[in-house]
Structures are given as structure tokens and as C-alpha cells.
Amino acid sequence: MPSRERRRAELRKRKQRGVSPRERMERGYARAEERNREVRESLEPLAEGERPTVVTVAAILSGTVAALTMGAWIAGVEVDGSRPEFIQALSPALLFGLMAWGMWRARYWAVLGFQTLLVFILFAAGWGLATQAASAVQVLASLGLLAVAGTFFWFMVKAMARIQMPSR
């Protein structure tokens, strides 16, 4: 039972130092909040009409997906041997089109919606990599999707922070 004795010795040392777990937690939160404040102060607010580059790229990508979805439906593309219903093409096209419009105007809700979509893509690619990838091509495609979606997500976090910043 050496591990039990070790834990008891550590607990005695903590009690002797007079720092409770709650006090350590509060100090940790205070340090984290100080770092957060420093990061917030280092951010530059967006100028009028300015849009972060990653948001511009995401808006163009989203608009392209919307246009291609409706274009494919108009062209009569079949999915699994049958043509999708109009609403099955219109719904995602409207969603992507609305996100494209919102991101083009640097709206927080649109960037948040796009990030939510990226999270679904990341989970799907990760799940596919873990359970479905049977060939090198599938593994590389899943890894590529993870890299692209993860990079987009990473850069959009700072962009979202700048979008929601008040003017100084």
C-alpha cells in the first residue's frame, strides 16, 4: 500500500502549506482570466467593412457549395440511381447560401454556423478514419479532410473573436 501512504503524505504536505484545493482552483482561474484579458487586448477590432481572410474564403466556399448544389439538381444529377426531390437540393443550398451571405457581411452567427458544420465534418472524418477507411486513398482523404477542416476551424476562432469585439 505504498501509493496510499504516498497520497496521505501529499495530503499532509498540502494541509501544512495552508492552501486548500479551492484556493488553488481560484488562483488558477485568476491566472487564466489574466491571460484571456491580455489576449483580448492584443486583438485588433475590425474596421468598417473589413472581413478576416479566413471568413472571406469560407464565404466563397459556402456560396460555391450552394450554387453547385442547385446547379447539380437543375442538371438532373442522380444520387444512388434517382434524382433528389427539389426540397432535398434546396434545403442545403439555402443553408449554405445564407451562411455565405452572413459571412460575407462578417456576421458572427454565420461564422458560428460554419464552424458548427466544420465540427460535424471533423467528427465524420475522424469516425470514417477510425472505422471505415480500408485503403490508403480513404485514409489519405480522411486525413486531408481533417487537416483542411481543422485548419479552417482554428483560424476562424480568432476571426470570431475579432467579429464580436466592440469598437475601441
Q: Examine the domain organization and report whether 31 and 113 are in the same domain.
A: no
pLDDT of residue 17: 67
124: its cell numbers: 465524420
Tell me whether residue 110 is in a domain: yes
Tell me which long-range contacts 148-152 makes (C-beta under 8 A, separation of at least 24).
149/118, 149/121, 149/122, 149/125, 150/122, 152/54, 152/58, 152/118
Whether 139 and 157 share a structural domain: yes
pLDDT at residue 167, as a whole number: 61
**Which tens digits make up the pLDDT trace of 75-127?**
999 999 999 999 999 999 999 999 999 999 999 999 999 999 999 999 999 99
- pLDDT above 70 for 1: no
Could you tell me the residue range of the domain that residue 29 belongs to?
1-42
Q: What is the pTM of this model?
A: 0.74
**Whether residue 148 is found in the same domain as residue 80:** yes
Tell me if 60 is assigned to some domain.
yes
Q: What is the percent of the chain with per-residue pLDDT over 90, rounded to a whole number?
A: 60
Asked, for residue 168, whether it belongs to a domain, the answer is no
| pLDDT bracket for residue 150 (50, 70, 90) | very high
Task: Say whether both 85 and 135 belong to one domain.
Answer: yes
For the chain, the domain total comes to 2
Based on the fold, state whether residues 59 and 28 are members of the same structural domain. no
